Amino acid sequence: MGNLFGSTKYKETPADKALREDIERKQAEEEAIKAEAEAAEKKKKKRIAKGMLGSRTLFSKSGRQGFFRDGEQI
């Protein structure tokens, strides 16, 4: 038997639609930020593995009283 009172399908209101779109936009932004962070971390790990980053790299500068890198004492 059918429903006596008509259709019970969900009808999205303009407020619901705006809220859903806002949530989807924020999720997309968060995923983009997460992807950028993962790419930066992957690039950093690759540079460390090559010996281009870190305290013992060939591109650091040594000084008399310790080890220096771009003007900072380590």
CB 62 within 8 A of CB 71: no
The pLDDT tens digits for 21-61 are: 999 999 999 999 999 999 999 999 998 888 777 766 665 55
Per domain, the residue ranges of the chain are: 14-73
- Which pLDDT score is estimated for 8? 75
Which of the pair, 62 or 43, is modelled with greater confidence?
Answer: 43
CB 62 within 8 A of CB 68: yes
CA distances from 7 to 11, 12, 17, 50 (A): 10, 14, 20, 65
- Which pLDDT score is estimated for 69? 59
Which of the pair, 66 or 31, is modelled with greater confidence?
Answer: 31
pTM above 0.75, yes or no: no
